[in-house]
Structures are given as C-alpha cells and as structure tokens.
Copies of this chain bind each other. A is one copy, B any other.
Amino acid sequence: MSESKDYLYPQKWLSKASTGDRVAYELRMRIISGLIESGTILSENKLAADFEVSRSPIREALRILASENIIRLEKMGAVVIGLSEKEIEEIYDVRLLIETFVFERLIKMDTTNLALELSKTLEMMKVAIKYNDADEFSYQDVMFHEAIIRSIKHSYITMIWNNLKPVMEGLILLSMRMRFKEKYEDFNRIVKNHEMYIDAIRAKDRELMIKSLHENFDDVQGKVEDLWRSQQMLSKGVEPQND
C-alpha cells in the first residue's frame, strides 16, 4: 500500500485505518469510478502485488467489498459488479427508505440538538464550498446524513447505513469533485436543499422532509450521466487492475 500511483480516496482520511481498510477504500473508489471495469476478475495475488501488501489485508478488503455488493466472490477470483445506473437507483431507494423511517422516529423525539448539529455541519459545508474543497464538502455531506440516521439510535438501521455508507461516500466524492470543476452553481441548490431538510426536522414537517429528500435524490440521481463523464476524467493516468 505504498506505491506511487494516484489514489482516488483521500489519504488523510485513512490515518488510523488498517492496511485492509485502506485497500478496501481505494479499491472501492476504483470500482465505483469505473476505473476497474465491471466484469473484471480480481485475484488476491495480483492485488497483493499491485498494492505491495500480503494477501491477508487483501482478503479482508475483498470481504468488505463483497458485503457491499460491488464485487462477488467466486471459486476462482472475485468478479467486479460495479455500479450501473440500476445499482445507483437502488442505493437511493434504500437511502430514501431508511431516511423516511428515521424521520418517522424523529417526529416523536426532541430534535433541537440534532437541528443544531446539522446547522453546524451545513456551515462547514459552506466553508468547504468557499475554499473549493470538494473532498471536505463530501465528507460533511455524508456526516450530515449520518447524523440524522444515527440520531434515532436504532442499531439495525445504523447497520444498514454502515453497509451503504462507503459506496455512498464514494459516489458523492466523485460527483462533488466533478461539480466543483464544472458545475459550481449546483452548490447553491444543494445548500438550500439541506437548509430545507433542517427546517423539516426542526418543524417535524413530514411533507417538507419528503420534498427535500426527493429533491436531493433528483439532484444526484438525475445527474448520473455527468458522473460517468467525470469518472472518465478522474480515471486518467491510472492504469486498470487487470490485463
């Protein structure tokens, strides 16, 4: 894990991660970005050689990615599933599903502290926009939704989130990096949308929340084609995994 290649995943987010986790994060980004094409067969030995680590952390990484449904472990090799538009839609189905569930619980709770935390996070997002920091913006965006989901303290909803989060984060990272370069004006809408979400939580307004969720959904979902373009862009200079 010490090669000189460009990494797609922000290295500073990995300060405490084990080698296995690092490999998983990086491999995930390469798969989501399309750098490693769907259908590719990954071998533990080749990956170990590429990342210059032993098979142990590679195996660990492959199990993680398999549990996220972006690869499939077979008898001989791991087959890359990747993310087609269908899968991305499905991810957002699940996000909608769990955030709707969460909101129903939130309605019965005191949401003052949560709303406050979300406001803070949104402020950070604004700063990230100001300083053109796509990665930091993505991080805060993910934290925004994580804060909402964790707030109801439902361990099995949190479990689903934990399984979904890495892929979501990857998607958001790629999407935001592209937009910071090409669609800077998008961020006004994104900020507005998050403000709407906070208002919905503060006011416990179910309709407003659904509206905001769906707009956020359309915001990412509708722009998938752009994302694929951006992936082409980001893929330059790094060679594919397999021959």
Which residues of A does B touch, CB under 8 Å? 60, 63, 67-69, 81, 86-87, 90-91, 93-94, 97-98, 101, 154-160, 162-164
Residues of chain B lying within 8 A (CB to CB) of residue A97: 97-98, 101
A54 to chain B, nearest CB (A): 12
A213 to chain B, nearest CB (A): 15
CA–CA, A81 and B156, complex, Å: 12
Q: Do B154 and A90 touch (CB < 8 A)?
A: yes
Q: Do B93 and A157 touch (CB < 8 A)?
A: yes
- Smallest Cβ-Cβ distance to A63: which chain B residue: B63
CA–CA, A242 and B48, complex, Å: 36
CA–CA, A91 and B154, complex, Å: 10
- Smallest Cβ-Cβ distance to A92: which chain B residue: B156
Q: Do B68 and A159 touch (CB < 8 A)?
A: yes
Q: Can you list the 8 inter-chain pairs with the closest CB atoms, starting with the nearest?
A: A90-B156, A69-B159, A94-B156, A69-B155, A160-B160, A90-B154, A91-B156, A97-B101
CA–CA, A155 and B160, complex, Å: 14
Which of B60, B91, B156, B164 is within 8 Å of A87, CB to CB?
A: B156
A68 to chain B, nearest CB (A): 7
- Smallest Cβ-Cβ distance to A167: which chain B residue: B156
A to B CB contacts below 8 Å, 24 in the list: A63-B63, A67-B67, A67-B159, A67-B162, A68-B159, A69-B155, A69-B159, A86-B155, A87-B156, A90-B154, A90-B155, A90-B156, A90-B157, A91-B156, A93-B101, A93-B156, A94-B156, A94-B160, A97-B97, A97-B98, A156-B164, A159-B163, A160-B163, A163-B163
- Smallest Cβ-Cβ distance to A100: which chain B residue: B97
